[in-house]
Structure 1
Amino acid sequence: MAEMSKEIPTISLIVSTYNWPAALEKCIQSIFKQTHLPDEILIADDGSGDATQETIKQLKKDSPIPIVHVWHPDNGFRLSAIRNKAIVQAQYDYIIQIDGDIIIDKEFIKDHLALSQKDTFLCGSRVLLSQAYSAQLLNQPAIEKLNKLKFPLGSVLNSLRIPFLSKIMADRYKKNKPRALRGCNMSFWKKDLINVNGYNESIQGWGSEDAELAIRLINNGIKKRFLKFGAIAYHIFHKENNKENLPENETILFTSNRDNLRWIANGIKKTKLFY
């Protein structure tokens, strides 16, 4: 008997951004080149100014699919909150999440779909681009193909796309632990995010928001799978974010892990209910 074909879910692609329209433009342009386009793009904008607004207006004109600009006022680093707003507005079943400083390989969405399964979420890796090469890419009117000879040696492995190895390693990779993830390359079923109340908005400033969410998903019976040798993401160089809130965020993460939390009060729904 022939194997039944896998049903392809509908996709909302969430792109987070803050006041870097040049990088966002390159990111969205790489989405337009996907072999499997998402059904919509949601730009989760953590309070960017007019320049980003103008860039998004132009991108909407060029886009073959709907682009939704989800924005809130600039009140510090509130990535968890703006991602929650985008999750709520997402119209489709499966959410792929990247950052606006990421250029994605043309098979990126296809690779996420290939490993998507019920009751799982996916975490991929990234290729760190050098400062000089990043500047060169940002100055190009369009990016046709990246030059692997300019990748840092430590990132070469993350630039390899080998689909059969990707399937083999999805559940076996040695770094497949709750905290081994990159929020710039993840995917989930929307219903699974809603069932744990999304991101913890008590986490503000840089750090720990993705790991804390992953822990609650796992506590709620959603298995983490690792996307290696697929869904290649290229990270445009920028200075490190301010990490002054990291100790407080790590305390929230520790509590969620220690108490086996599945739900947090300060998420998509604001409630005191824990279970």
Structure 2
Amino acid sequence: MYMFASVIISTYNSPEWLEKVLIGYAVQSNPDIEIVIADDGSEEATKEVIDRYKSQFRSLKHVWHEDMGFRKCEILNKAILASTTDYLIFTDGDCIPRKDFVQAHIDHRKENCFLSGGYFKLPMSISQLINPEDIIRQNCFSLRWLKDRGLAHSFKNNKLSKNNMWVDLLNRITTTNPTWNGHNASGWKKDIVAVNGFDERMKYGGEDRELGERLENTGIKGLQIRYKAICIHLDHSRGYANEKDWKINNQIRQETKQNRAKRTSFGIVKS
């Protein structure tokens, strides 16, 4: 059966969150997708979750490598090679997609473009409350449901709007530039392979955006779908974040911008 896109989901030792995310993809309005889990060395509990949900999808692949520290870029490149469709949607294992998430990416994809989405961040208290039924019934995307559980008032709540005219306006007036955001971005596989995928020297901190910057250097334009492709972000700690890695990443990104680099030598193909 033809599959419209591959959804590449990065994860690391967060089986409870990953299960909620997989439920979100199991109830998508467009089920003709391939799921590729890019697993940066999780323990057995993650595999058990993935095995339980394999029957829910046309195709679900688990791409894993040994835990040797933060190697997200490397496992993403392996997942890219494992994908079998010509269009790739990238997200994280802590982002539950609304049921129209995949369709939004498919509807707005264009040649010579990549799509830039965002997320709606939830506090830990609400993240823990969400159960499978809340995802299946889409309660967790309802502002009323969220507010009843303690969500604070904010302009950012507009991200969950389903009013198409309002959503179109918000995407036009947003001051946020379209960037490659690892939790919600998509592009043509041929374009991503042409720039040699993710730079595997990079650790946590802007590593996703550097790929988008190389795509832009080749003439691939970023398009904003911040208010159209909706996912909610489950809270978690970031013990892998540190200032040293941020500095290294920023240096690599500066070199990419200054040199107008179109391809990394530290990506899918090593040279």
Tell me, yes or no, whether TM beats 0.5.
Answer: yes
Contact preservation (8 Å) 1:15, 1:97: yes
How far apart are the structure 1 equivalents of 2:47 and 2:164? 37
Name the SS of the counterpart of 1:29 in structure 2: helix
Moved more, 152-161 or 19-28: 152-161
* Matching residue of 1:31: 25
Alignment of 1:10-29 (within 5 A): 10-29=4-23
CA RMSD of aligned residues (A): 1.9
**Pair 1:11–1:226, CA change in 2 (3 A):** same
Instruction: Give the distance between the partners of 1:176 and 1:162, measured in 2 at CA.
Output: 22
Amino acid at match of 1:151: L
Q: Distance in 2 between matches of 1:199 and 1:70?
A: 16
Secondary structure of the residue aligned to 1:254 is helix
Answering whether residue 43 of structure 2 is matched by residue 45 of structure 1, we say no
Normalization by structure 1: what TM-score? Answer: 0.88
Aligned to 1:253: 253
The answer to whether the 8 A contact 1:171-1:225 is kept is no
Question: Which residue in 2 is equivalent to 1:194?
Answer: 193
Indicate whether 1:69 and 2:62 are aligned. Answer: yes
Q: TM-score if structure 2 supplies the norm length?
A: 0.89
CA 223–167 in structure 1, closer or farther in 2 if over 3 Å, else same: farther
Q: Kindly, what percent of the aligned residue pairs are identical?
A: 33
- 1:158 has 2:159 as partner: yes
Deviation of 1:183 after TM superposition, in Å, equals: 1.2
- Structure 2 regions of 5+ residues with no counterpart? none
Secondary structure of 2:89 counterpart: strand
Q: Secondary structure at the match of 2:133?
A: coil
Mapping of residues 62-101 of structure 1, within 5 Å: 63-101=56-94
Aligned pair in 2 of structure 1 residues 229, 177: CA closer, same or farther (>3 Å)?
closer
The 8 Å contact of residues 23 and 132 in structure 2, kept in 1 or not, is answered as no
- Structure 1 residues without counterparts, runs of 5 or longer: 1-7
Cα distance between partner residues in 1 of 2:239 and 2:116 = 21
Partner secondary structure for residue 13 of structure 1:
strand
Residues of 2 paired with 1:93 and 1:237: CA distance?
32
Contact 2:109 2:115 in 1 (8 A): yes
CA distance, structure 1, for counterparts of residue 175 and residue 48 of structure 2: 43
Q: Select the residue among 127, 133, 142 that pairs with 2:133.
A: 142
User: Residue 220 of structure 1 corresponds to which residue in structure 2?
Assistant: 218
Conserved 8 A contact 2:116-2:224 = yes
Runs of 4+ in 1 over 6 A off after TM superposition: none
Check conservation: 1:163, 1:229, Cα contact below 8 A. no
Query: Contact (CA 8 Å) 2:37, 2:63: kept in 1 or not?
Result: yes
Deviation at 1:203, TM superposition (A): 0.4
**Separation in 2, partners of 1:183, 1:230:** 16
- Counterparts in 2 of 1:151 and 1:94: CA distance versus 1, 3 Å: farther
CA distance in 2, matches of 1:119, 1:233: 24
**Inter-CA distance 135–109: structure 2 relative to 1 (3 Å threshold):** same
